[in-house]
Amino acid sequence: MVVGVVGAGVMGVGVAQNLAASGYQVVLVDRDEETLDRARATIARDCRMSALMGGPALDPAAVLARITTAVGVPAVAKASVVIENVTENWEIKRAVHAELDEVCGPDTVVIANTSAIPITRLAAVSSRPQQVVGVHFMNPVPAKPVVELIPGVHTTPKAMERTRALLAGMGKKAVQVKDSAGFVSNRVLMLTVNEAAYLVYEGVATAESVDEVFRGCFGHPMGPLETADLIGVDTILYSVEVLYEHYADSKYRPCPLLKQMTDAGLHGRKTGRGFYTYPNGS
């Protein structure tokens, strides 16, 4: 079975690695060869680190042998299932789903990997909305055993069944939730991260202090701002903006600090600096 993975960023790389390590053949696509070269290097590194981080021992060469990379969405045309992982921005996702609708076959299941955008809205771009399914993968994908599974209004039981089978093959437990912006996890998490950013913005506490309270008082393995750096500060902002637009509720107002950091390229681990600094991209 061939699975197309669109987007070779943080999430797409994790999805591709997870699929290939589970025995699937993967076609990973993005806009340029440089991004794809970085993706292959990241997958090789993460495979080598897998056992050290508590995961299974992985042979980088064997995993990469199951991944074909290519520039452009048309390269996934023959895939049975395509997983879209582009940034959490409506205009970008809309354009990618429109292109997928042109190149994919009538029986292809298109999975939208999104943390906030309603699946029915994305499916409306397609001429086959019954084939569009939402899956919110958590980051880092290979290490997170649970995903949110979201049917759109028109999604068929068959498309859901095929998606569940794929997820099971990846070692994921799928928790089905209704189609609602932010679903379950990000309705709660984005409020927490956004408010934590406000604490730093208003000078109430440093990022280190905020995270120490959450780790020490609540037993969280990571504080909310460490989590923001892991997910990507830009992704956090886009998700909060989706919630604010969808619900028109002031509780989702994006913190200005998130906007400033996004504009400045301080996106967290993937750029080497966010709320924290990561020497050598570590």
| 12 labeled part of a ligand binding site | yes
Instruction: Show the domains of the chain with their CATH numbers.
Output: 2-176 (3.40.50.720), 185-271 (1.10.1040.10)
| 57 labeled part of a ligand binding site | no
Round to whole Å and give the CA distance between 63 and 75: 20
Which pLDDT tens digit goes with each residue over 216-245? Answer: 999 999 999 999 999 999 999 999 999 999
Whole-number Cα distances in Å, 73 to 5, 20, 29, 112, 150: 9, 19, 6, 14, 23
Which pLDDT tens digit goes with each residue over 77-124? Answer: 999 999 999 999 999 999 999 999 999 999 999 999 999 999 999 999
pTM attached to this predicted model: 0.90
Whole-number Cα distances in Å, 207 to 130, 199, 270, 271: 44, 8, 18, 18
| 10 labeled part of a ligand binding site | yes
End-to-end CA separation in angstroms for the chain:
34
In this prediction, residue 252 carries a pLDDT of 96
Which pLDDT tens digit goes with each residue over 34-87? Answer: 999 999 999 999 999 999 888 999 999 999 999 999 999 999 999 999 999 999
| 88 labeled part of a ligand binding site | yes
In this prediction, residue 193 carries a pLDDT of 98
The residues that are catalytic are 136
Instruction: Work out the burial of residue 230: count CB atoms within 10 Å of its CB; fewer than 13 is exposed, 13-18 middle, 19 or more buried.
Output: middle
Strand ranges for 8-167 from DSSP E? 25-30, 67-71, 81-84, 109-113, 132-136, 146-151
Round to whole Å and give the CA distance between 270 and 214: 23
Position 281 pLDDT exceeds 60: no
Contacting residues for 276 by C-beta, under 8 A, at least 6 apart = 207, 225, 226, 229, 268
Which pLDDT tens digit goes with each residue over 159-214? Answer: 999 999 999 999 999 999 999 999 999 999 999 999 999 999 999 999 999 999 99
